[in-house]
Amino acid sequence: MNALARALNSDIGYSFRKTPVAMVSAVVVTILILSAVLAPLVAPYNPFDPATLNLMNGFSKPMEPNAFTGDVFWLGTDDQGRDVFSTILYGMRVSLFVGFAAVLFALTLGVTLGLLAGYIGGWTETLIMRAADVQLTFPSILVAMLIFGIAKGFTPVDMRDQMAIWVLIIAIGLSDWVQFARVVRGATLVEKNKEYVQAARLIGRRPGAIMIRHILPNVLSPVLVIATISLALAIIAEATLSFLGVGAPPTQPSLGTLIRIGQGFLFSGEWWILLFPAVTLLALALSVNLLGDWLRDALNPKLR
Residues 35 and 42 sit within 8 Å (Cβ to Cβ) = yes
- Please, what is the minimum distance in Å from the beta carbon of residue 195 to another protein? 4
Per CB under 8 A, which of residues 195..214 are in contact with another protein?
195-196, 198-205, 209, 214
DSSP assignment string, 64-110: SB-TTT--B-TT-B-TT--BHHHHHHHHHHHHHHHHHHHHHHHHHHH
Contact flag: residue 194 with another protein (CB under 8 A): yes
Stretch that binds another protein, among 72-80, 82-90, 193-201, 253-261 (CB under 8 A): 193-201
Among 149, 217, 245, 264, binds another protein (CB under 8 A): 217
Contact flag: residue 158 with another protein (CB under 8 A): no
Tell me, residue by residue from 3 to 32, as one string, x for binding to another protein by CB under 8 A and - for no binding.
Answer: -----------x------------------
- Please, what is the minimum distance in Å from the beta carbon of residue 116 to another protein? 20
Residues 288 and 236 sit within 8 Å (Cβ to Cβ) = no
Closest by CA to 38, choosing from 100, 96, 104, 80, is: 96
Residues 218 and 187 sit within 8 Å (Cβ to Cβ) = yes
- Please, what is the minimum distance in Å from the beta carbon of residue 141 to another protein? 31
CA 164 vs CA 83, 159, 168, 251: distances in Å: 24, 8, 6, 11
Per CB under 8 A, which of residues 230..289 are in contact with another protein?
none
**What is the amino acid identity at position 20?**
P
Contact flag: residue 218 with another protein (CB under 8 A): yes
Contact flag: residue 61 with another protein (CB under 8 A): no
Contact flag: residue 304 with another protein (CB under 8 A): no
Nearer to another protein, 15 or 135 (CB): 15
Q: Which phi and psi (to 5°) does residue 83 adopt?
A: -70, 120
Where along the sequence are the contacts to another protein (CB under 8 A)? Answer: 14, 194-196, 198-205, 209, 214, 217-218
